[in-house]
Amino acid sequence: MSLTRRQFSAAAAMSAAVPQLPGKVLAQQTGGAGPSAGAGPMEVDHDMSSMPAHWMGSEQIAFLVYPQFTALDMVGPHHMLTSLMGAKVHLVARTRDPVQSDTGLVVMPSMTFDECPADLDIICVPGGSHGTLAAMKDDATMLFLKDRGNRAKYVTSVCTGSLLLGAAGLLAGYRATSHWATKGLLPLFGATPADGRVVVDQNRITGGGVTAGIDFGLTLVGHLRDRQYAEGVQLMAEYDPKPPYSAGTPERAPAEVRTLIEGMFTGFVSDADKESRIAFAKFGRLQ
Protein backbone atom coordinates (compact mmCIF):
# COMPACT_ATOMS: atom_id res chain seq x y z
CA MET A 1 0.00 0.00 0.00
CA SER A 2 1.21 3.52 -0.73
CA LEU A 3 1.56 5.78 2.31
CA THR A 4 2.07 9.50 2.54
CA ARG A 5 4.79 10.69 4.90
CA ARG A 6 2.15 11.70 7.46
CA GLN A 7 0.40 8.36 7.23
CA PHE A 8 3.69 6.50 7.46
CA SER A 9 4.33 8.05 10.88
CA ALA A 10 1.12 6.48 12.13
CA ALA A 11 1.57 3.27 10.17
CA ALA A 12 5.04 2.66 11.55
CA ALA A 13 3.68 2.82 15.07
CA MET A 14 0.63 0.74 14.21
CA SER A 15 2.60 -1.99 12.46
CA ALA A 16 4.64 -2.59 15.59
CA ALA A 17 1.45 -3.71 17.31
CA VAL A 18 0.46 -6.46 14.86
CA PRO A 19 2.21 -9.65 13.69
CA GLN A 20 4.74 -8.93 10.96
CA LEU A 21 5.00 -10.63 7.60
CA PRO A 22 8.25 -10.79 5.63
CA GLY A 23 8.98 -7.89 3.32
CA LYS A 24 9.24 -4.13 3.16
CA VAL A 25 6.92 -1.20 2.66
CA LEU A 26 7.79 1.91 0.66
CA ALA A 27 6.93 5.28 2.17
CA GLN A 28 7.10 8.25 -0.20
CA GLN A 29 9.05 11.17 1.24
CA THR A 30 7.22 14.40 0.52
CA GLY A 31 9.30 17.35 1.59
CA GLY A 32 10.79 18.15 4.96
CA ALA A 33 14.30 19.21 5.89
CA GLY A 34 17.62 17.42 5.71
CA PRO A 35 19.56 15.50 3.07
CA SER A 36 16.77 13.00 2.45
CA ALA A 37 14.10 15.62 1.71
CA GLY A 38 12.48 15.01 -1.65
CA ALA A 39 14.64 11.95 -2.23
CA GLY A 40 11.78 9.73 -3.36
CA PRO A 41 10.64 6.39 -1.95
CA MET A 42 12.17 5.32 1.35
CA GLU A 43 12.43 1.62 2.19
CA VAL A 44 11.17 0.82 5.68
CA ASP A 45 11.17 -2.41 7.66
CA HIS A 46 7.42 -2.54 8.18
CA ASP A 47 4.98 -4.68 6.22
CA MET A 48 1.50 -3.25 6.47
CA SER A 49 -0.23 -6.15 4.73
CA SER A 50 -1.18 -7.53 8.15
CA MET A 51 -2.80 -4.27 9.24
CA PRO A 52 -6.43 -4.70 10.38
CA ALA A 53 -8.76 -3.56 7.61
CA HIS A 54 -10.59 -1.12 9.89
CA TRP A 55 -7.39 0.85 10.48
CA MET A 56 -7.76 2.37 7.02
CA GLY A 57 -10.67 4.79 6.85
CA SER A 58 -12.06 7.42 4.51
CA GLU A 59 -13.29 10.12 6.89
CA GLN A 60 -13.91 13.68 5.79
CA ILE A 61 -12.90 15.94 8.69
CA ALA A 62 -13.23 19.72 8.78
CA PHE A 63 -11.78 22.19 11.26
CA LEU A 64 -13.51 25.56 11.20
CA VAL A 65 -10.92 28.35 11.40
CA TYR A 66 -11.80 32.00 11.87
CA PRO A 67 -9.87 35.17 12.76
CA GLN A 68 -8.46 35.18 16.30
CA PHE A 69 -9.24 31.55 17.09
CA THR A 70 -6.97 29.85 19.64
CA ALA A 71 -4.33 27.95 17.68
CA LEU A 72 -3.73 25.10 20.12
CA ASP A 73 -7.46 24.36 20.21
CA MET A 74 -7.06 23.33 16.58
CA VAL A 75 -3.44 22.20 16.32
CA GLY A 76 -3.63 19.63 19.15
CA PRO A 77 -6.57 17.63 17.76
CA HIS A 78 -5.39 18.28 14.21
CA HIS A 79 -2.16 16.42 15.00
CA MET A 80 -4.12 13.47 16.36
CA LEU A 81 -6.78 13.30 13.63
CA THR A 82 -4.27 13.58 10.79
CA SER A 83 -2.87 10.30 12.13
CA LEU A 84 -6.04 8.54 10.94
CA MET A 85 -4.90 6.63 7.88
CA GLY A 86 -7.14 7.34 4.90
CA ALA A 87 -8.85 10.36 6.47
CA LYS A 88 -8.91 13.72 4.71
CA VAL A 89 -8.56 16.68 7.08
CA HIS A 90 -9.54 20.16 5.90
CA LEU A 91 -9.00 23.62 7.36
CA VAL A 92 -12.13 25.50 6.34
CA ALA A 93 -12.66 29.27 6.41
CA ARG A 94 -14.76 31.91 4.67
CA THR A 95 -11.96 32.46 2.13
CA ARG A 96 -8.60 30.91 1.35
CA ASP A 97 -6.84 33.98 2.73
CA PRO A 98 -4.46 33.41 5.66
CA VAL A 99 -6.18 33.34 9.05
CA GLN A 100 -4.36 34.72 12.08
CA SER A 101 -4.88 33.14 15.47
CA ASP A 102 -5.16 35.03 18.74
CA THR A 103 -1.42 34.59 19.34
CA GLY A 104 -0.39 35.65 15.84
CA LEU A 105 0.10 32.18 14.38
CA VAL A 106 -1.06 32.25 10.76
CA VAL A 107 -2.72 29.25 9.12
CA MET A 108 -3.67 28.70 5.51
CA PRO A 109 -7.19 27.35 4.96
CA SER A 110 -7.34 24.46 2.54
CA MET A 111 -10.88 25.23 1.39
CA THR A 112 -13.73 27.69 1.69
CA PHE A 113 -17.19 27.12 3.07
CA ASP A 114 -18.52 26.57 -0.44
CA GLU A 115 -15.77 24.06 -1.23
CA CYS A 116 -16.23 22.03 1.95
CA PRO A 117 -17.88 18.62 1.51
CA ALA A 118 -21.58 18.79 2.35
CA ASP A 119 -21.54 15.58 4.38
CA LEU A 120 -18.72 15.45 6.89
CA ASP A 121 -17.74 12.68 9.26
CA ILE A 122 -16.43 15.21 11.77
CA ILE A 123 -16.77 18.95 12.10
CA CYS A 124 -14.60 20.48 14.81
CA VAL A 125 -14.77 24.05 16.10
CA PRO A 126 -11.84 25.51 18.03
CA GLY A 127 -12.44 28.26 20.55
CA GLY A 128 -10.99 31.65 21.29
CA SER A 129 -12.07 34.77 23.12
CA HIS A 130 -13.29 37.86 21.31
CA GLY A 131 -12.60 36.17 17.97
CA THR A 132 -15.16 33.54 18.92
CA LEU A 133 -17.72 36.20 19.73
CA ALA A 134 -17.00 37.91 16.41
CA ALA A 135 -17.60 34.58 14.64
CA MET A 136 -21.00 34.37 16.36
CA LYS A 137 -21.96 37.63 14.65
CA ASP A 138 -20.90 36.46 11.20
CA ASP A 139 -23.87 35.10 9.29
CA ALA A 140 -21.80 33.13 6.77
CA THR A 141 -19.81 31.38 9.51
CA MET A 142 -22.84 30.49 11.58
CA LEU A 143 -24.95 29.32 8.65
CA PHE A 144 -22.08 27.14 7.44
CA LEU A 145 -21.64 25.65 10.91
CA LYS A 146 -25.36 25.01 11.31
CA ASP A 147 -25.63 23.35 7.90
CA ARG A 148 -22.59 21.08 8.22
CA GLY A 149 -23.25 20.41 11.89
CA ASN A 150 -26.78 19.21 11.19
CA ARG A 151 -25.40 16.74 8.64
CA ALA A 152 -22.11 15.60 10.22
CA LYS A 153 -21.71 12.22 11.88
CA TYR A 154 -19.79 13.81 14.76
CA VAL A 155 -20.25 17.39 15.93
CA THR A 156 -17.31 18.47 18.05
CA SER A 157 -15.50 21.39 19.63
CA VAL A 158 -12.60 22.37 21.84
CA CYS A 159 -12.67 25.04 24.55
CA THR A 160 -15.07 27.91 23.81
CA GLY A 161 -15.79 26.40 20.40
CA SER A 162 -18.74 24.82 22.20
CA LEU A 163 -20.28 28.30 22.46
CA LEU A 164 -20.36 28.43 18.67
CA LEU A 165 -21.91 24.97 18.49
CA GLY A 166 -24.48 26.06 21.06
CA ALA A 167 -25.27 29.31 19.29
CA ALA A 168 -25.88 27.34 16.09
CA GLY A 169 -28.41 25.18 17.93
CA LEU A 170 -26.24 22.08 17.84
CA LEU A 171 -26.00 21.34 21.58
CA ALA A 172 -29.61 21.55 22.73
CA GLY A 173 -30.39 18.47 24.82
CA TYR A 174 -26.76 17.31 25.01
CA ARG A 175 -24.18 17.21 27.77
CA ALA A 176 -21.12 19.25 26.87
CA THR A 177 -18.11 21.08 28.22
CA SER A 178 -16.16 24.22 27.45
CA HIS A 179 -13.35 26.24 28.97
CA TRP A 180 -13.96 26.30 32.73
CA ALA A 181 -14.64 30.03 32.64
CA THR A 182 -17.49 29.68 30.12
CA LYS A 183 -18.94 26.27 30.94
CA GLY A 184 -21.66 27.97 32.94
CA LEU A 185 -23.00 29.57 29.75
CA LEU A 186 -23.91 26.26 28.12
CA PRO A 187 -27.46 26.16 29.59
CA LEU A 188 -28.22 29.25 27.48
CA PHE A 189 -28.23 26.87 24.51
CA GLY A 190 -30.20 24.09 26.16
CA ALA A 191 -27.03 22.11 26.89
CA THR A 192 -26.09 20.51 30.21
CA PRO A 193 -22.59 21.37 31.52
CA ALA A 194 -20.62 18.23 32.33
CA ASP A 195 -17.30 17.56 34.05
CA GLY A 196 -14.32 16.04 32.28
CA ARG A 197 -11.64 17.07 29.82
CA VAL A 198 -13.61 15.27 27.11
CA VAL A 199 -17.39 14.86 27.22
CA VAL A 200 -19.07 12.38 24.89
CA ASP A 201 -22.84 12.43 24.48
CA GLN A 202 -23.98 10.37 21.49
CA ASN A 203 -22.37 12.06 18.47
CA ARG A 204 -21.53 15.30 20.32
CA ILE A 205 -17.95 15.30 21.58
CA THR A 206 -16.61 18.39 23.31
CA GLY A 207 -13.24 19.12 24.85
CA GLY A 208 -12.42 21.46 27.72
CA GLY A 209 -9.97 24.33 27.60
CA VAL A 210 -7.10 24.47 25.09
CA THR A 211 -4.84 21.53 26.02
CA ALA A 212 -7.87 19.27 26.45
CA GLY A 213 -7.98 19.31 22.65
CA ILE A 214 -5.13 16.78 22.60
CA ASP A 215 -7.11 14.37 24.79
CA PHE A 216 -10.18 15.10 22.68
CA GLY A 217 -8.34 14.24 19.45
CA LEU A 218 -6.85 11.07 20.86
CA THR A 219 -10.28 10.02 22.16
CA LEU A 220 -11.68 10.38 18.64
CA VAL A 221 -8.81 8.38 17.18
CA GLY A 222 -9.62 5.50 19.52
CA HIS A 223 -13.32 5.82 18.77
CA LEU A 224 -12.82 5.77 15.00
CA ARG A 225 -10.18 3.02 14.94
CA ASP A 226 -9.51 1.14 18.19
CA ARG A 227 -7.55 1.37 21.41
CA GLN A 228 -4.40 -0.21 20.00
CA TYR A 229 -4.31 2.24 17.11
CA ALA A 230 -4.82 5.18 19.48
CA GLU A 231 -2.09 3.93 21.79
CA GLY A 232 0.28 3.79 18.83
CA VAL A 233 -0.56 7.38 17.93
CA GLN A 234 -0.06 8.40 21.56
CA LEU A 235 3.34 6.72 21.63
CA MET A 236 4.41 8.33 18.36
CA ALA A 237 3.55 11.72 19.88
CA GLU A 238 5.22 10.76 23.19
CA TYR A 239 2.11 12.15 24.85
CA ASP A 240 2.79 11.51 28.53
CA PRO A 241 2.12 14.87 30.21
CA LYS A 242 3.69 15.65 33.54
CA PRO A 243 3.20 19.42 33.98
CA PRO A 244 5.69 21.27 36.17
CA TYR A 245 2.84 22.81 38.18
CA SER A 246 -0.51 21.55 39.47
CA ALA A 247 -2.64 24.58 38.67
CA GLY A 248 -4.38 23.34 35.53
CA THR A 249 -7.93 23.35 36.91
CA PRO A 250 -9.82 25.83 39.12
CA GLU A 251 -10.08 23.13 41.78
CA ARG A 252 -6.34 22.51 41.92
CA ALA A 253 -5.00 26.01 41.36
CA PRO A 254 -3.98 28.09 44.39
CA ALA A 255 -6.79 30.41 45.45
CA GLU A 256 -4.84 33.56 44.63
CA VAL A 257 -4.08 32.28 41.12
CA ARG A 258 -7.70 31.37 40.50
CA THR A 259 -8.86 34.78 41.72
CA LEU A 260 -6.37 36.49 39.43
CA ILE A 261 -7.41 34.55 36.32
CA GLU A 262 -11.13 34.75 37.08
CA GLY A 263 -10.77 38.52 37.25
CA MET A 264 -9.22 38.54 33.80
CA PHE A 265 -12.24 36.68 32.39
CA THR A 266 -14.96 38.83 33.92
CA GLY A 267 -15.44 41.14 30.94
CA PHE A 268 -15.24 38.33 28.39
CA VAL A 269 -17.78 36.15 30.18
CA SER A 270 -20.18 39.09 30.36
CA ASP A 271 -19.73 39.77 26.63
CA ALA A 272 -20.04 36.07 25.83
CA ASP A 273 -23.31 35.86 27.76
CA LYS A 274 -24.74 38.78 25.80
CA GLU A 275 -23.56 37.67 22.37
CA SER A 276 -24.50 34.04 22.98
CA ARG A 277 -28.08 35.00 23.72
CA ILE A 278 -28.30 37.12 20.59
CA ALA A 279 -26.68 34.51 18.35
CA PHE A 280 -28.79 31.65 19.70
CA ALA A 281 -31.97 33.64 19.17
CA LYS A 282 -30.89 34.27 15.58
CA PHE A 283 -29.32 30.97 14.55
CA GLY A 284 -30.16 28.40 17.20
CA ARG A 285 -33.83 28.12 16.36
CA LEU A 286 -33.34 28.64 12.63
CA GLN A 287 -34.61 25.62 10.67
Q: Write out the catalytic residue numbers.
A: 159
Nearest in space to 16 (alpha carbons), one of 35, 38, 44, 53: 44
Q: What is the DSSP string of 189-218?
A: GT-EE--SSEEEETTEEEE-STTHHHHHHH
Q: Alpha-carbon distance 80 to 225, whole Å?
A: 12
Question: Rounded to whole angstroms, what are the CA distances from 189 to 68, 165, 192?
Answer: 23, 9, 9
Query: 106 by DSSP, 3-state: which?
Result: strand
Name the burial class of residue 41, with classes exposed (0-12), middle (13-18) and buried (19+) by CB atoms within 10 angstroms of its CB: exposed
Please report how the helices 227-236 and 5-15 are oriented relative to each other, as an axis angle in degrees rounded to 10.
Answer: 120
Helix, strand or coil, per DSSP, at residue 78: helix
Q: Are 186 and 192 in contact (CB under 8 A)?
A: yes
